[in-house]
Amino acid sequence: MSNPFRYKRIMMYSSLQFCGHREEYFAARCEHVVFYIPFTRCGARPGLVREYRMGSLVSEYQVPSSGNMVLYYLLGYLNHLRILLRHFRRDQPVIVHASFPVAFFGLWLQRLLRRATFVYMIGDYFPPTTIVVRLFNRVQQFYHDRVACAYYLSDRINRQLNGTVLNTPTRHTVMWGVKEAPIRRDPPGALVRLLMVGQIKPGQGLSQLLDFVAASPDYTLEIVGVCPAFLYQGFMRQIGEMGISGRVHFPNLFLPEPELHQLSRTCHIGIALYDTDSTSATNYCDPGKVKAYTEMGLPLVMTDISDIARYVREFRCGEVIRQDPGELAAALQRIRNGYPGYVEGLRRFNAHFAYEAYYEHAFIFLERNEPCQNTFR
């Protein structure tokens, strides 16, 4: 029987968002892997560390964090060093996947302490609209140019960091993978139930969506996500004034993944609307909610903003629209009229991004425990 563990020792930054399945993938295929999960500064929640050996979780514990920006990054760096030193011996090569520039501070010292090879995994690019963002981008570019291994969540990030889209063994795009599962979904009847998931904030088209629901009595809307109290109160006031409280459910909370999947079975179409302003970071990312919908077996309507839009078009698993309000109604009607065809498109889309095969190909360069020579100097 062949060895199921393709990788030796890895330290990897991760998160609790269910899209992507990278933790699930590497936990099952790495002899020894430690995930560092730093939360955002909002709420100042402690970070998490999870250690797996031979596919089994052997330890999980919290590490400190802070809502203060300076303390947040300082504690993040100290956590990074502590994890590297605590979980890996000096005589063992280890591959470190880091997603924050601060993790690369003092690389010469880190490599003296451990036989570490550093891989920069870049999931975001922020257009330089402020001095702070410009500084961040310069630091990110500095370390990116001096570490030989890097991969990117979209071709647009790849192009921004390299001047062109690179596709070499040690510098290439790796988008989110999805978990492929059978899709059983009946076409909508007289009533169509829409689902919108994710963090709720300005620029995500919720007001436009509420206007559409108010004008379309054969549609209802489930909103799964959270937003600040003042914004939530404004949306609830708008919903009440429009007289659609009975057709819009917005509890202002996230649901655990099993509950979200259960809810999705009662819905028909996923909604992913975004602000298309050129300064939006969504232009460069691989939006998690798009693949959340496809994984749940929901045809979707999304704004034409990120690289993933071309795959939605290619596999015809949804509709890609501009910000014209009239396009939303037309796109939803097209999905209603051709629902079985969009469900078949979802199957093709999910087969293309099925995370096990997709990541096996994308991360083949990590199968040697020292995949590339760091050029940091």
DSSP string, 107-118: HHHHHHHS-EEE
377 vs 84, more confident: 84
Tell me: the pLDDT tens digits for 276-311? 777 788 889 898 899 999 999 999 999 998 999 999
Residues forming a β-bridge with 117 = 95
Instruction: With beta carbons less than 8 A apart as the criterion, state whether 203 and 277 touch.
Output: yes
Superfamily of domain 192-352: Glycogen Phosphorylase B; (3.40.50.2000)
Predicted confidence (pLDDT) per residue in 43-91, tens digit: 567 889 999 999 999 999 999 988 888 898 899 999 999 999 999 999 9
Cβ burial of 116 (10 Å; 0-12, 13-18, 19+) is: buried
Return residue ranges of the chain for CATH 3.40.50.2000: 7-177+355-366, 192-352
Q: 7-177+355-366 has which fold?
A: Rossmann fold (3.40.50)
Identify any residues that bridge with 47 across adjacent strands, giving them in sequence order: 63
Environment class of 147 (CB within 10 Å of its CB; exposed 0-12, middle 13-18, buried 19+): buried
pLDDT in tens, 117-172: 999 999 989 888 899 999 999 999 999 998 879 999 999 999 999 999 999 988 99
